Structure 1
């Protein structure tokens, strides 16, 4: 299965489906670890790694053995490859091994980097005014060692665009071979590293000087080289670099299933958005679920002023409980519904019930002010929330002579994070990609981030990584919680929303 060039939004729908149903995933290092968040929590993930910190590298023979072993054990196995499995991806070789072992398989295409990377750099590989053809070529000598010599003379004299894969190490040699075979030294050439990512690098020159320019820019793999007149169009067509957060790597720590909106928004602003889930929503304990169901019984609801829901997950839990009891929104007839935050309100509306009370400040303090202003603080309330939270709301209602019944709708736990994704957080000088900013939506996600990274790198190193980045909090409550963890807060979103978080990040990195 092809994982695409890296951008997680370029995964195909078929690919997402296969990952969601996989029992075992064997992933190459060029497959974005964020894609693994589509897998079930119990999926066995094995990674072919690269770099001194990532552990032992799986040899090809070992990959072949694992594919056959797990498939013959009745498992659904995904072999996840960067780009497309048939474009210099050894997909055909591995399929032959499976066929010989009597294992059924399928190919799931992926967006290939020799097309996607130039496109993301504003370089069309064909153009009706420049060239009618394109050739994809291995820039790596392994093929020549196997007796499959590249036809340099033919390529040099063709009128088409050349896209050379795996061409960083041999860039100087390959450029010289093209010139020696007859291609003009002045032919435009470009190298695109990490195409489609917010940290994409593009170096433009000619066959005569492209290797020197790459050395000056310290270009490292993975990268593709484009040779041909179409390179000259980049100056007119470049688009990704124009976005405000281009070049910035931003980490999102929300639960995997709830991070999509912010990831999309950051990527739309040009950032290299990294999904690093530090929270996972889990079902409540059986006794907690029974307590929620009991609280929704008609005789218990009869004496209530209303119901308070403090998060979208709480709204889901509330309406799931109604469904279990064969009830619907009519159960709240004559009762008030209070939703803390516009996201929570939107989730309630999507479930068929419009909240009566939405505080201007999306936190407990805002709801307390609103209830006091409406003369409702002394009423009897039912509060549906997570297993952990502040006591401020309950204390204020109690002091006003009211009462609040707290029921747990869901629990939050610390999820497992793929090792390859963890290692990518290391600074560039330490073999990783580093990060420029990190977004926290709660103090608990920050605590889980410190625990997870501390276990991998050591507590001091984990905090050191944070000190090199900007920290963004979704609101004042989260900012206070981060401060309590002795973390510096560089920006607080004006509104507790995806748009507010993106604007806060933009404010930290103004475009020159």
Structure 2
């Protein structure tokens, strides 16, 4: 990671065309350092998982409805950058900030106010929408030049007279005036039979496209019900869509599904979100817990010289163990004589990331299996590194074998205060995912149990039923791929209703 940004500082960041996976690495880094994020309406909500620490202000424009003016946004950028003695502000914009994104105006406003700024380019929808529809804007023999135009302020045949030599025309924000634009192009000399296409919600599971000719495009778009946000392509290259249309969300099993991925980790794990997005879902990541320091001195004192089993049942427990030792003026060397047991592969990898090899991992992930298979003898005392809440399943499995388990509070967990946007994402979701018993209990505490949920394993299912969930689909295997399959089944059973509005 590069050096932290100075304060006050403004980053004008392109978010790409819609798919959160198309965000650049630099943009993700800048978001992680932001104090304030001013976000456009067309930016995927999933990108806000990269800036949980930031104040988020929605300043987007949608559907020609009343909204903040550009002067308002410019003034807000400057005011937020100066607030609290200087803040890092991100202006998160769809596409690229310098391609009809008014990024230049915002940069000039920063310069006039003496605020340092940077430009973080994004993938422009002018090129990516065509690519996701299988249309190359240039192609040997068909198009060697292209122009990108706005559909909002160039009207009349004279506006296009100087474009006669340009092979491919790409229009942004043209949906409202498409009939006039196509008529003006034909009046300016474009052949009505020129291939043309319109792509709505490019790169997202909601993507739809219409292929026609210049003369028929406006009517075909109206019949199909396409509207903003859309990109229009006019030129011989548009005919290639018939052979190159590679991205078809309608063929994906989760096409149109709203899925909320609940998580209890400090950082988002995008693996499951990416898997579901690849199957056509619109995914929101919802953090259910926040973590606070535990009793560091007690943890360090109990571990000093301990030569028995130390049990870790989550990646958070591994991080909290290391942080507790450091907070108490100790380090991982106090574990030299201990034997380490990890509840599953993720926790085991978290130990390896610290340079610690686990001495034992059960055959199947889960507290019950850890307690049943741990190679300890009756009468032994083992230490469980966890939160302020003991693990009743682990304690019961060990007690049945005559093994005493003492829980050390390495961290405290509390329910997260969800934003209004996050609560709305939960309400709109047809399926939520539960990847742990802790997650099931946390979702019940934060938002209730009136959800259709896909759960990763029997222990999670049991915990979910104990707190009141009734509409559950159990993954066949405790893997993310299998959990993704369970989401598909849950979505089919939900009938497309939102997860929290079913009878």
Please indicate the TM-score interval, normalised by the length of the shorter structure.
0.7 to 0.9
Equivalent of 1:63 in 52, 69, 73: 73
Q: CA deviation at 1:311?
A: 1.0
Q: Which structure dedicates a bigger proportion of its chain to strand? A: 2
User: Is contact 1:245-1:509 (8 Å) kept?
Assistant: no
Alpha-carbon distance in 1 for matches of 2:33, 2:116? 16
Alpha-carbon distance in structure 1 between the residues aligned to 2:420 and 2:157: 38
Counterpart pick for 1:331 among 335, 349, 355: 335
Runs of 5+ consecutive residues of structure 1 not aligned to the other structure: 427-433
* Alignment partner, residue 430 of structure 1: none
Please say which of residues 413-422 and 385-394 is displaced more in the overlay: 413-422
The correspondence of residues 457-468 of structure 1 with structure 2, limited to 5 A, is: 463=450, 466=451
Which residue of structure 2 lines up, in the alignment, with residue 35 of structure 1? 47
Distance apart, 1:378 and its partner CA: 4.2
Equivalent residues of 1:474, 1:496 under 8 A apart: yes
Shift of 1:367: 2.0
- How far has the Cα of 1:132 moved from its partner? 0.3
Counterparts in 2 of 1:72-221, with a 5 A limit?
72-73=82-83, 74-141=86-153, 151-155=159-163, 157-221=164-228
Deviation at 1:98, TM superposition (A): 2.6
Q: Tell me the CA shift for residue 87 of structure 1.
A: 0.9
Extract unaligned runs of 5+ from structure 2: 1-12, 493-503
Distance 1:189 1:360 in 2: 57
CA distance in 2 between partners of 1:21 and 1:328 (Å) = 29
Partner of 2:273: 263
Conserved? CA contact 2:303–2:334, under 8 Å:
no
Give TM-score scaled by structure 2 length: 0.84
Say if 2:372 and 2:397, in contact at 8 Å, map to a contact too.
no
CA RMSD of aligned residues (A): 3.0
Tell me by how many angstroms 1:89 deviates.
Answer: 1.0
For residues 149 and 355 of structure 1, what CA distance do their matches in structure 2 show? 72
In 1, the alpha carbon distance for the partners of 2:401 and 2:259 equals 43
* Contact 1:11/1:110 (8 A) holds in 2: yes
Could you tell me whether the CA contact under 8 Å between 1:252 and 1:259 is conserved in 2? no
Q: Distance in 2 between matches of 1:58 and 1:180?
A: 36
Checking the alignment, whether the CA contact within 8 Å between 1:203 and 1:214 is kept in structure 2 is yes
User: Structure 1 residues 124 and 418 mapped into 2: Cα distance closer, same or farther (>3 Å)?
Assistant: farther
What are the superposed Cα offsets for residues 158-209 of structure 1, whole Å, 9 maximum, x if unpaired?
3511111112222222222222322222222221111111222222222233
User: 317, 320, 327: which one pairs with 1:317?
Assistant: 320
Per the TM alignment, residue 88 of structure 1 is displaced from its structure 2 partner at its CA by 0.9
2:436 aligns with 442
Q: Distance in 1 between matches of 2:372 and 2:169?
A: 66
Aligned to 1:282: 291
* Corresponding residue pairs, total: 473
What's the CA shift for 1:216?
3.0
* Equivalent position SS for 1:225: strand
Q: Does the C-alpha gap of structure 1 residues 398 and 445 become closer, same or farther in structure 2, counting only changes over 3 Å? A: closer
Q: Cα–Cα, structure 1 residues 444 and 364, in superposed 2: closer, same or farther, change >3 Å?
A: closer
Q: How far did residue 136 of structure 1 move?
A: 0.7
Deviations 1:26-46 (A, max 9, x none): 1111222222222252x2221
1:190-235: CA deviation from partner (whole Å, max 9, x where unpaired) = 2111111122222222223322332333223211111122222223
Change (3 A) 1:393 1:508: closer
